[in-house]
Chains A and B, each alone.
Chain A
């Protein structure tokens, strides 16, 4: 018995060293060497300033930008407090929210009242940091963005298709548009001065 207690205590200590210290250190050594950019969080810089992460959604409200999905992370796209609404489908608060979000979306994009809205535009993601929107959602925003930037809709649509990703390996996940990538591409093509 005493022998087993000793083995248990030593076992937890030594194996914790092996798996909780040596393993991560080894991974640090190899992983950071091979995948430096990813290891740092896939951060994007512009003029030496970190403007966000390639992987983490950020909020956009101006008409010149494509808008991401609504977010429940903190007060919206809080990268230090991820999460969803956790509202059940029959929760009146959820249905009320979606109704309001659909109205806002229609108003912002000048849609007719009977326009069909892609559901990702009016629902909040699980992380609240979803960097993507569906191609259908992006397509409905093209006219607004083009008008606000004095670009032709075709030019915006071209940028949109360049920034649309298909399913990974052809069958995994869903087609999607990275909002930050697309907006950066817009800024490069047709800069505008914010007031």
Chain B
């Protein structure tokens, strides 16, 4: 039965990628859509208020600058709101807010939400007010997600244009993505999850008098406003500490399943948008197939690890898969699917505790993040992650056949290769250096309050991999709410968001200026199975070369322990 769920999920993702991808291309190509009568007036009004001239295009440098400015203002605004939340009216009552909002926690959270990481060093119901969650976090789930989408679209324009000094207008990309895609889908999706049981209220925490005569306090809040957009915008930070495992966040398997579709469909469909906008639809499909192959590999491995009765309990007469940290309504299947989709989709909204997964079970989400979120990936960012690694593949392929490598008619010379290689190296450098720093310092090791040994190592590596990949999921055995982790994970989040985006956009700018060279007999065809295999091999090779030693100390060592 688990495999039926997996197969239905993949079928829906692949099936919806095509129509959704074409719709996205229409939205950003300025072709009329059925939503225009409602949205165009809003769009024009926003441009007027913001002082944006929609036809004024931007160079890659200016596009990056606008993205940075927008993110910086978002971060500062959210930081101020978080620091000021003690003066905000409304629930929950002060006595439930047991985690103090220190400056480092506020800064970490602000950066986390403005970079779509939504890493949470706090527990929602014990830290934040309803108004903070609504005005601060719900809005950033939309805005940071839309900004990522605008980056992805600009990146595509680098390939679809020739002899162009510009790659679009950031503000137009941001606002169109928000109005035509995120807001309408989030509105519909939020209503569906409300129907499934996700609450939406501003009520104080409920005092329930239980059947056995006890009193149970039940946290409430405007959960439904956050629940769907956190997945759609590939953010993932939960309303409550237990995130998607909390019954108010995912009351039913269907709610969870729809959330996972919201994570995967848009990023997957961007491959189709890419193929369509560049006039090479098959090249888009090849990228999607590579993603799906990697997805299935991870899913099979994770399922295999979690569905077996834990070997550590062999002498205890228990039956069933590894249910520690998993919910009964999800069982193994829906939990594993969520682990694989959220870790691939740069979204931290897991519905089971990865901190209690088997070593091989946790290896899969960890590897998905370390590979740079190329399988579907973050909204917009996943596409350029995949294409940047494809550039490295093209370069390797070019070396093998001894010609100037090119991709979709764009020549990849020394300068482009440097950008692609820098992109491929940045993740491993940041993650490994910060992991080393954490393990070498007392402040870093102080976070290991639950597990030690190889497991503890994995927790630290996982934290930085998650921050760098702008994913945000955590192995929560690590206590990350300390100045050390709040600062260092923020560094990784910034590098993962802005470092990678700057490199990707710089490359897009260089490609936009180039003409598109005609295909010759010497061109490595970029829409063949062979090319797909080359890209797949490159992803695994770069991942293995970068991370095998670290993985050997963490999950692999733990798996071999007995």
Residues of chain A having any CB pair with chain B under 8 Å: 3-16, 18-21, 23-24, 26-28, 30-32, 34-35, 38-43, 49-62, 65, 69, 73, 77-91, 94-95, 98-99, 102, 114-120, 122-134, 136, 167-169, 171-174, 176, 180, 183-184, 187, 194
Contacts and interface: CB of A to CB of B under 8 A. Distances in A.
Contacts of A168: 252-254
A192 B309 CA distance: 38
Nearest to A120: B323
A50 B4 CA distance: 39
Nearest to A53: B218
A80 B5 CA distance: 32
B206 A43 contact: yes
Given A41-B201, A173-B334, 13 more contacts: A8-B73, A12-B143, A27-B194, A30-B191, A50-B209, A53-B218, A61-B212, A80-B205, A98-B313, A123-B324, A129-B247, A167-B1, A173-B5
Contacts of B207: 50
B319 A119 contact: yes
Among B66, B200, B327: residue with most chain A CB under 10 A: B327
Interface in B298-325: 309-310, 312-313, 316-325
Nearest to B74: A12
Q: How many residues of B sit at the interface, in one of the four size bands?
A: 35 or more
A89 B136 contact: no
Contact of B242 (A21, A82, A122): A82
Interface string B207-228: 1111111101111101011000
A52 to B, nearest CB: 4
B511 interface: no
B476 to A, nearest CB: 5
B65 interface: yes
A12 B142 CA distance: 11
Nearest to A186: B211
A80 B91 CA distance: 13
B407 interface: no
A78 B143 contact: no
Contacts of A61: 212
B257 A172 contact: yes
B136 A20 contact: yes
Nearest to B330: A173
B451 A91 contact: yes
A102 B211 contact: no
A134 B50 contact: no
Contacts of A5: 69
B318 A116 contact: yes
A158 B558 CA distance: 45
A8 B69 contact: yes
27 contacts: A6-B51, A7-B171, A20-B138, A23-B142, A27-B191, A27-B224, A30-B191, A31-B200, A35-B191, A41-B203, A50-B207, A51-B210, A60-B212, A79-B206, A82-B241, A86-B475, A87-B356, A87-B451, A98-B324, A115-B317, A117-B316, A119-B319, A126-B245, A127-B240, A127-B246, A129-B242, A173-B253
When A and B form their complex, which 3 residue pairs have the shortest distance between CB atoms, in order from nearest?
A173-B253, A174-B331, A20-B139
Nearest to B95: A80
B66 A86 contact: no
B103 interface: no
Interface string B124-150: 011000000011101101110000000
B216 A79 contact: yes
A79 B218 contact: yes
Contacts of A42: 197, 199, 251
Nearest to B309: A119
Contacts of B252: 168, 172-173
B316 A126 contact: no
A173 B211 contact: no
A119 B320 contact: yes
Interface stretch (B347-355, B481-489, B498-506): B347-355
Nearest to A43: B206
A115 B316 CA distance: 10
A15 B242 contact: no
A126 B66 contact: no
A180 B209 CA distance: 13
B211 A84 contact: no
A86 to B, nearest CB: 4
Contacts of A50: 206-209
B183 interface: yes
B77 interface: yes
B8 interface: yes
Nearest to B190: A27
Contacts of B211: 51-52, 58, 60, 65, 180, 183-184, 187
A49 B351 contact: no
B341 to A, nearest CB: 14
B327 A130 contact: yes
Contact of A90 (B229, B248, B561): B561
B234 interface: no
A125 B326 contact: yes
B328 A134 contact: yes
Nearest to A26: B187
A134 B320 contact: yes
B324 A117 contact: no
Contact of A171 (B5, B197, B222, B561): B5
Contacts of A35: 191, 194-195
Contact of B134 (A18, A24, A43, A118): A24
Given A69-B328, A88-B558, A172-B253, A102 B219 contact: no
A131 B328 CA distance: 8
Nearest to B71: A8
Interface in B142-199: 142-143, 171, 174-175, 178, 183, 186-187, 190-191, 194-199
